[in-house]
A and B are shown apart, each in its own frame.
Chain A
């Protein structure tokens, strides 16, 4: 495998297998994400409007990163909808990481409905040049 290149793939089929049927009703939304990588870390940015930190779970096991979040609708029941273009539901997305991540140093931040997830790579031994003697 190429050492310098890490591939992150959305695993649709695994999402069905690994995540059991949701007990909560409402639509399951796939949030749009940006994923980029530097030498030291992989960063995931996801748009999840309406999500509060207590309703967000991030899970990383066996190289599968899953994040789910629930959004509850307005509490007032007296409101009658005139126009409804989005619904309160569940955000769900799952990725397979092919490089070792330092799980202790994962940092997640949620601001204005955008999740920023920093996944630092495990520090590797620096490549060394070996001089060949004649």
Chain B
């Protein structure tokens, strides 16, 4: 993420806590730098996590959505925009069950991404297996790379 910050800040005599303020900003900046490096690939808690890849003919979108009904998933595409939404419900177990751990999340989710190229919306192939939604989105002819002959 690119954020522009006025830096370094000039401590003023009006506030006795200016020094602390500067320290706070320094720390924030430090964490931002770390975030841009090693941990940048981890989505900021956005569900579902997506992997988008492409080859010459298709764009592939894969989403980790474990334990949902395939019918409850909604995928829509318009131009270069792709939206995935749905609802994850965790069935209620028997009343007598006492929980030791409850870490799995449930609820609605929705994500919209911009694809790297134009896609042919009519020929999108969507598949859901083993908790992963796989979309194969064929590129439009205009978006496919073309070989150009070089004349001597």
A102 at the interface (CB under 8 A from B): no
Q: Is B43 within 8 A of A34, CB to CB? A: no
Min distance, Cβ A38 to any Cβ of chain B, angstroms: 5
Min distance, Cβ B150 to any Cβ of chain A, angstroms: 23
Q: Which segment of B4-12, B20-28, B29-37, B50-58 sits at the interface?
A: B50-58
Q: Is A36 within 8 A of B66, CB to CB? A: no
Q: Is A85 within 8 A of B43, CB to CB? A: yes
Q: Is A112 within 8 A of B130, CB to CB? A: yes
Give Cα A110–Cα B60 distance, bound, in whole angstroms.
25
Min distance, Cβ B105 to any Cβ of chain A, angstroms: 7
Give the interface SS of chain B, mostly helix, strand, loop or mixed.
loop
B146 at the interface (CB under 8 A from A): no
Q: Given A79-B60, A84-B41, A85-B49 in contact, is the A50-B101 Cβ separation under 8 Å?
A: no
Interface residue ranges of A32-55 to B (CB < 8 Å): 32-39, 43, 45, 47-52
B18 at the interface (CB under 8 A from A): no
Chain A, Cβ-Cβ closest to B53: A79
Give Cα A90–Cα B65 distance, bound, in whole angstroms.
17
User: Which residue, B93, B116, B130, has most C-beta atoms of chain A within 10 A?
Assistant: B130
Residues of A within 8 A of B51 (CB): 81, 83-86
Chain A, Cβ-Cβ closest to B58: A79
A7 at the interface (CB under 8 A from B): yes
Q: Given A36-B98, A38-B96 in contact, is the A85-B42 Cβ separation under 8 Å?
A: yes
Min distance, Cβ B35 to any Cβ of chain A, angstroms: 15
A126 at the interface (CB under 8 A from B): no
Min distance, Cβ B45 to any Cβ of chain A, angstroms: 10
Contact check: which of A37, A47, A79, A81 meets B67 at CB < 8 Å?
A: A47
Q: Is B64 within 8 A of A76, CB to CB? A: no
Q: Is A34 within 8 A of B99, CB to CB? A: yes
Q: Is A33 within 8 A of B104, CB to CB? A: yes
**Residues of A that sit less than 8 Å from B by CB:** 7-8, 32-39, 43, 45, 47-52, 74, 76, 78-86, 110-114
**Given A35-B99, A38-B98, A82-B54, 12 additional A-B pairs, CB 8 A:** A36-B93, A36-B97, A36-B100, A49-B66, A79-B60, A80-B53, A82-B53, A82-B59, A83-B50, A110-B130, A113-B66, A113-B130
Residue contacts A-B, CB under 8 angstroms, 8 given: A8-B100, A32-B103, A38-B94, A80-B55, A82-B53, A86-B49, A86-B64, A112-B66
